[in-house]
Amino acid sequence: MIKDFLRFIRLETCLFISGIALSGYLLFNQPDWIMLLLFATTLFSCATIYSYNHLKDKKEDKENRSLNPYAVKDRKDIPILTGLFSFLFAILLPFHSFLLFLFLFLFGIFYSATRIKSKFFLIKNLYTAFSLGMVFLIGASVYQFEEAMFIYFGIVFLFGWLLNLLGDIRGVEGDRVAGVKSIPVILGYKIGKRIAYLLLLFLISVCTFFSPFRIFVPFLFAILIFLYFDLHKPARFSLLLSFILFPLTFLII
């Protein structure tokens, strides 16, 4: 039951996204108590959107053989409760951060409710990439906006695109049956992998140039190797782990 619940809220992905928010914060601010609010807001809002998405993706998950028992039971109470908790923490953030959070939260609910990813090509990739970039920006701009934040927003945008592409490559058969217009479905599995290779090489170059992101280079090389051998779970885990360790590294430093 616990394992199914953690899969229902996608805990590993929630921690990854919370790590992105904390990474943005620590790149531009000193550690303080507001980090806890930022972490809790991001964690619970992600749990809300992912659990709600599970309820809307039953057909696709069934084809991918990943249908969650909580989705089968139609547990709407879980996204309602986690959504309530996310708002309780979010209202304690600075007002502009709360507004950004509110926009992103409603955007995520709209995306899941309309299942727009199955209607338009690249929407799924753009949504994930933009959302992760916004999570980074919310964390970075808690106290003030700086020009460098928008450069880093672009880097995180590419990480989000890569995360989504890795999932699409892994679940191409289920997406094809469910009618999801992902890159591997429309362009083919091999072309999808080649795009992932190019994106990985570009990110390795960019992260090498920007010193705060150099910690990601070993993870990106690991993803490149795993992807080459079609080891999709380790590839995705390497990416998730990278942004979980990134803020911890800043705290140690």
User: What is the per-residue pLDDT across 67-97, written as a single tens digit (0 to 9) for each?
Assistant: 778 877 888 999 999 999 999 999 999 999 9
CATH of the domain at 100: 1.10.600
Global confidence as pTM: 0.90
Query: How far is the C-alpha of 238 from the C-alpha of 178, rounded, in Å?
Result: 27
Amino acid code (one letter) for 127: Y
Rounded Cα gap, residues 90 and 171, in angstroms: 33
DSSP class of residue 109 equals: H
- What is the extent of the structural domain holding 11? 2-252
Residue 181 DSSP SS3: coil
Provide the domain count of the chain.
Answer: 1
Residue 63 — very low, low, confident or very high, per pLDDT cuts 50/70/90? Answer: low
As to burial, measured by CB atoms within 10 angstroms (0-12 exposed, 13-18 middle, 19+ buried), residue 72 is middle
**pLDDT at residue number 72:** 77
Q: How confident is the model at residue 26 (pLDDT cuts 50, 70, 90)?
A: very high
Residue 212 pLDDT more than 90? Answer: no
Regarding predicted confidence, which is higher, 211 or 184? Answer: 184
